[in-house]
Every structure is written in structure tokens, then in C-alpha cells.
Structure 1
């Protein structure tokens, strides 16, 4: 017998759609100066956020949004069944140490920049499966911590190519519950790891675009829905060039989504901010989704969206050994009520 909540090959549907009851966001100064600056809860001018290191500053941001989301849901940490969180640092230390302080049963996630949507998908499964009443999902990233881990010492000031993206400094959290008021999660499409041989660690948009196109096409095939069903298709952080590539790949598959396809990495910065191809990082899709997009759904300006978190599954070791950059993309349907 097929799994009763499996919809096609890679998609699941939720019989009792989990509710996004509360969200919280915090960003750095450059993100706050961008076109979505007014949609974030807090803008931090100091990259250290009052701490001694950038890593501790990132951890403070993550802890703050998690506590804020819990408070907005009128809950206490002990009311949260599971914490699902991750970041870009080795061994997801931002999430690990924050989980230590919160004391909530913890499942650490690493999906690179797709982690927010991976968390939303898993939260939906836990709740609709009857295993949880409330799940907290959170992510963080930081330009200065990620840059020196994945690329070059920050102090070196290495010039980046124009197709590179800037890691978003910030953190986002969402409380997903079995009942309550807010947008609902109705479907999730778990992505496959796709690698078409792109090996430049600076060009993550090109590495992730094939996975994004694969997941979107698979979701439409699994559900039997027409492209017009969704008001918006939005990827996590393909950036300017990655978005263009994903649109072309989808056209080759028979889907023309160009008029309703956007990207969080494109939206969060303006061209005048000189971030080259746009934003990236776990916080990129995290803050745009938990800030701007959820606000648009709550206001009724957006009814149905397929959000697709995208991640480049590389490490500094794999790059040094000449490996290519595999991509992953997880899709989650969020609808207003």
C-alpha cells in the first residue's frame, strides 16, 4: 500500500495543515538598508551585536528571534515539542549552542541555505503526523562568519566576481502549530541532490538552479497543478543569474513561470547596494519568508506561494579537493486562510 499522505514521487500533503502562528526576524545594517528593510523586526547596526566575535553575535541573533517567536505565539519554551534549526558554520554551532540555552528537544539541520524550508517541511510532517503540537524552526547566517569559513579571511578584502552573492546577516524563526491563526503549510516537496558539474564555489546560483527547477517541476507533476495555481514561486537564494538559469531550465521542462518567479536573494538587496548577484545564506530565505512573505499572506495580497529553499552543499574541504558543488532544493506550499 502506498503511504497515505504521499502525493506522487517527492511530495507530501498535510491532512490537517499546520499553522504558522508566529515569526520573528532580525537583520544586519546592509539588509536593513535594502528594499525590504521595513519588513524586518529589528535591524542591528553592529555586526558583532555587542559580542566579542562575529560568531557569538550571530548566535545572539538566533537566540533572540527564537525567544521572540515563542513569546509572540503566547507560549513558553516548555510548550515547544521540538526545535529544528541550523546555520552555515561548522557543526551548526549557532543552532547547537542556542538549543543548549533553550532546553527544547533539538534536531539539528544542515541543508545549507535551504535549511529554513527543510525545517518547515519537517515541522509540517511532525505536526500533521501527530508527533507534536508546536515546533520551533530557526536559522541564521552572517556575512563575516560565512565569508571567512568558506572563502577567504575577511580582513584580506578579496574582490569577488560579479556573479557572486553576499551572505545575508540575520536570523529568522517561526512557530508552527497544530492549531491557531495564520498562514498554513499544505504541501512539501523534498528535493533531490542535483549536480550538473558546476565547480566554482563563488557561483552558487548556477550550482543551485538545476535543483530548484527540478523540485518545482516535480511538485507540479506530483500535484497535477497548473503553473497558474500559485501566485508566486520564490526560491531561496539563486540570485540574479541563478534565477535566470532556473527560469530557462523550467522552460525546457515545459513550464513558463517567468512572470511569477522571484528570489529572496534578489528581493533583499537593491542593485545600488552593490551586492553583485544578490543575497545568499540561511538567513536569506529565512528573513524574507518570515518577514515580507508572511506579511503579504496575512494581508491578503498573496494567497498561495510555493517557496523553494535552495542550498549549495559544498564545504571548504570539498572545494580544495576539486569537487563540484551539488545543489538541493526543498519546496513548501504556504497559503492564506
Structure 2
């Protein structure tokens, strides 16, 4: 199969040698460990500092542990891993870079905001399909406290949260790809286009990201000829309750009804009413831990055969927000199957 045959449609690649997801690790904080999906996470921290002296160091330690545990599960060593693709929300990818400095693995840092799990997994899959690696790890992380004080307000300020606000997940997820094994495998990668519909409210991430999710899902269907009926689950990253509703409505206008197979990772990780998380969850760690924990384990049990993961990200910064800029959105999709 040549490159023209691998590329289907405008934005999608069909993998000739679908890489297998042979191991995953999910680590979450206490709040996430008290939510509906607690039984699916590998490690639940007792406190969100993880014994470190800052939230930023705690986040980096979560990513480091997730990666190391994934390698350990596969009975491999660091020297066996060809590439580490990882990203987070902090300035200059601090969590990922500082985790990588303690590992002897070639590192590619990525920033796709909260879309980074699908971005890293998609790029890792392309490396594997191209024959450039035997083992690749895709990872990402976020932390409520580090994200709050970078993007919003100092925690001590005690700012009131709006009804459309989301709670950044404290968590890290790691996925190991190989060409061997009888495991769930990646079949398609659809790369998203940046969409901006003029949202300026930094609290309303769901509304800012939903148009990008809609565009990528629509493009995936158009490129592949698939429909919602071809998937057991379509999971967006962290649109929350507000963004999820917008996405469903907009896709209906394109002729796609996804409600019977659609979940949003940000809408399911918390008990929003009991845990007071308003519209749900956000953050790089959101789709990461739900995918590495809940969705992957459901696939291994045979309860999910075909999954379309669509991680979503708001491409804002503290600088652009202060300058009155709007919030662009991005979404990347990865099809994962297991039969």
C-alpha cells in the first residue's frame, strides 16, 4: 500500500500495519478516585501533591510514574522504547519535559492542549505504521491546581465558578504501542483543523471546543465512509455537559445522530452534582485517564469493539486571554478496534 492509498479523504490516514495498544496506565488524584470510574484507574493518589513540594512537581511525577509503570507492565526496559511522545498544559511542557529528563528515551514534546492524548496516540501510531519504531509510548497529564493558577486564578483567591465551568482533571495516562500482541489496535487517524467561533469566555471551554469536535467527527465519517453505527462508543475528550449537548445538535445538522453511542470523558469522570464540578471535567488528563482506564479495560473485556476517541483542546494561553483574543479549538480522532 503506497502513501496515496494510506491517505483517505482530506484529513485521515488508514493504517496499513495497525499498531497494538499492549499496555496502559492511568493515575488520578483523590477527587477523580472518588468518582464513578474509580474502579478502572490503576493508581489513585491519596493527596494531590503526591508527596512533592509543588503541584507542578506532583504533575510531573504522575506522568513519570505512569510511563514507568507502563514499561514495567510490558516487561520491557527504557532502552527498548524508541520514542516517547508526551505533552501537558503547563508552560513549555514542563511536566512532560521534566519527566522525560529522568528517562533515557528519545522524547518528542507535543502541545495540543486537552487534545494531546489523541494527538500523541495518533502520531505514535503513524510512526509505528511507517516502520520507524518497535515500541512507542504516548502520554499526557494535567493537574487541577497547576492549571488553575496558570490559566485562571490563584487557588487562594477563591473565585466563584460559573455553571458552565469545568474541573481540570488531576491525572496522567500512558499508552504503549507495539506491532506484536493480541490487543486493541489503531486503524485510523484523523487530524483536526483549528476552529474558532468567537468564544472568549475562558470558563466556557465546552462551547469553545465543540465546533472543532464536530468538524473532526464529520470529516472522519466523510473520509472513511463510516457512520455512528460503525462504532460502539464515540468519546470526545473534555467538552463537558455543555459542549456535549452542542456537539450532538451540530452533528445532527450534518445528518449524523450519535446520541446512542456518544459519551464525553469530561461528563462521565465525575459525579457532577455530588462533587460540584458543574459542567464536568477538562484537562489533558481527562481523556487520557478515561481512555487508559475505563475505555481500554472495557475493550479488553469485549464490551467495546470499536472506539472513536476524539480528544478536544482549547488553544488559548494566559497572554492571548489578557489581550482579548478568542479561543481557537482543535480535535484529533483515533479509531481503536478489538475483535
Could you tell me the TM-score, scaled by structure 2's length?
0.98
Q: Please tell me whether the aligned partners of residues 167 and 281 of structure 1 are also in contact (alpha carbons under 8 angstroms).
A: yes
Q: How does 1:53-64 map onto structure 2 within 5 Å?
A: 53-64=54-65
Q: How does 1:294-309 map onto structure 2 within 5 Å?
A: 294-309=296-311
Name stretches of at least 5 consecutive residues in structure 1 with no aligned partner. none
Q: How does 1:147-162 map onto structure 2 within 5 Å?
A: 147-162=148-163
Instruction: Return the offset for 1:260.
Output: 1.3
CA–CA separation in structure 1 for the residues paired with 2:275 and 2:311: 24
Query: After superposition, what is the alpha-carbon deviation per residue over 1:114-170, rounded to whole angstroms, capped at 9, x for unaligned?
Result: 001001100110000010110011111000000000000111111110100000001
Tell me the equivalent position of 2:249: 248
Tell me the equivalent position of 1:217: 218
Tell me the equivalent position of 1:32: 33
CA–CA separation in structure 2 for the residues paired with 1:51 and 1:2: 47
Query: After superposition, what is the alpha-carbon deviation per residue over 1:27-76, rounded to whole angstroms, capped at 9, x for unaligned?
Result: 00000000001100111121111011111111111100100001111111
Instruction: Return the offset for 1:2.
Output: 6.5
Number of aligned positions between the proteins: 337
Q: Please tell me whether the aligned partners of residues 166 and 275 of structure 1 are also in contact (alpha carbons under 8 angstroms).
A: yes
Secondary structure of the 2:32 match is helix
CA–CA separation in structure 1 for the residues paired with 2:133 and 2:5: 19
Tell me the equivalent position of 2:330: 328
Q: Please tell me whether the aligned partners of residues 192 and 211 of structure 1 are also in contact (alpha carbons under 8 angstroms).
A: yes
Instruction: Return the offset for 1:4.
Output: 2.7
Q: How does 1:1-337 map onto structure 2 within 5 Å?
A: 3-271=4-272, 272-337=274-339
Query: After superposition, what is the alpha-carbon deviation per residue over 1:74-130, rounded to whole angstroms, capped at 9, x for unaligned?
Result: 111110000000000000011001111112101000000000100110011000001
Secondary structure of the 2:299 match is helix
Secondary structure of the 1:307 match is strand
Instruction: Return the offset for 1:3.
Output: 2.4
Name stretches of at least 5 consecutive residues in structure 2 with no aligned partner. none
Secondary structure of the 2:146 match is helix
CA–CA separation in structure 2 for the residues paired with 1:201 and 1:298: 37
Q: Which runs of 4+ in 1 moved over 2 A?
A: 1-4
Q: Please tell me whether the aligned partners of residues 227 and 256 of structure 2 are also in contact (alpha carbons under 8 angstroms).
A: no
Q: Please tell me whether the aligned partners of residues 116 and 140 of structure 2 are also in contact (alpha carbons under 8 angstroms).
A: yes
CA–CA separation in structure 1 for the residues paired with 2:148 and 2:107: 27
After superposition, the CA RMSD in angstroms is: 0.9
Q: Please tell me whether the aligned partners of residues 24 and 173 of structure 2 are also in contact (alpha carbons under 8 angstroms).
A: yes
Q: Please tell me whether the aligned partners of residues 78 and 104 of structure 1 are also in contact (alpha carbons under 8 angstroms).
A: yes
Secondary structure of the 1:319 match is helix
